[in-house]
Amino acid sequence: MIPITATAQETNTKATPGQMVDALHSAFGQHEHARAVHAKGIILTGSFTPAPGAGTLTMAPHLQKTTVPVIVRFSDFTGIPDIPDTIGDSNPRGLAIKFQLPDGSATDIVAHSFDGFPVATTDEFRAFLLAIGSSGSTAAHPTPIEQFLAAHPIAKTFVTTQKPPSVSYATLSYFGVNAFKFTNKAGKSAIIRYQFIPEAGEQFLSAEQLKSAGPNYLSGEIKERVKTTPISFGLYAQIAEPDDKADDPSIAWPATRKRVLLGRITLNKLAPNTTAEDRSLAFMPNRIPSGISLVDPMLIDRSRAYPISVQHRQ
């Protein structure tokens, strides 16, 4: 058991990467060999074919002309590996993708099904997690999380306006909430956020369908879907305008912002999904090639915490 040493009163100082991982375990419990967040998931494989206009935005190798293999892991929220797919706490869903580049390296994107993040900074996220962890059934009202949400209206919106249960992991849009800078061969740059838009369209369960859905219906559904139908997403870059906040993931950019199609993801095979495979598979949002650079400082903090979480689940 990794000790949970952080408290809600300790958030005035910059959290260490280890304290951030501890805060995730404080919120969701520590489960042997499980991820600290998005613990319940399923892995598929396929390919990514870049769109003709993608190379005008960036010199990144996977966004030029060559189709590359991809590994995608869909997931539920929280670090609880057996969380039911049917309850609100399993949202937002996650999509993480690894592009396998021709030179043997890789680049990753991590996204979820809500356009935005509950807070602006890593330390605020730690405070949010600690408040969840301190708000068990015996906590007096207002609980720490009730107090936190009252003081953080964006976080309250995040918690209270998640999408209803979807028909499939394949029928949700996913959003990369952190910003990156794309630079093309001419040296021209643009600030972007990623969006994954399902070609099947967004589809949600009715109240009656939800009643009959099992706790693991999403993994069961996608296993059957991929047997007969390739799963496809359009990968888009949403382009920031000068007044858009690039360093605050809690502020979604307006839907009117220009979007550029980067390419098409096609998933046509279920991965083995062994325990060993899931433990070892890591998606690092700062694993980026030439032509893409970090903008949001939260990505630096995430990159420092992820290896600790990966080590804990081995």
Give the CATH fold of the 31-114+162-312 domain.
Answer: Catalase HpII,  Chain A, domain 1 (2.40.180)
Residues contacting residue 179 through CB under 8 Å, at least 6 positions apart:
191, 192, 193, 240, 246, 247, 249, 295, 296
Q: Is 181 exposed, middle or buried (0-12, 13-18, 19+ CB in 10 A)?
A: middle
pLDDT of residue 13: 53
pLDDT tens digits, 140-169: 999 999 999 999 999 999 999 999 999 999
Q: What is the CA radius of gyration of the chain?
A: 19
pLDDT tens digits, 213-224: 999 999 999 999
Residue type, 61: P
Q: What is the DSSP letter of 162?
A: P
The one catalytic residue in 25, 38, 152, 312 is 38
Q: Decide: 228 and 222 in contact? Cβ < 8 Å.
A: no
pTM greater than 0.85 (yes/no): yes
Please list the ranges in the chain whose pLDDT falls under 50. Answer: 1-12
| Pairwise CA distance, residues 158 & 130, whole Å | 17
Whether 38 sits among the annotated catalytic residues: the reply is yes
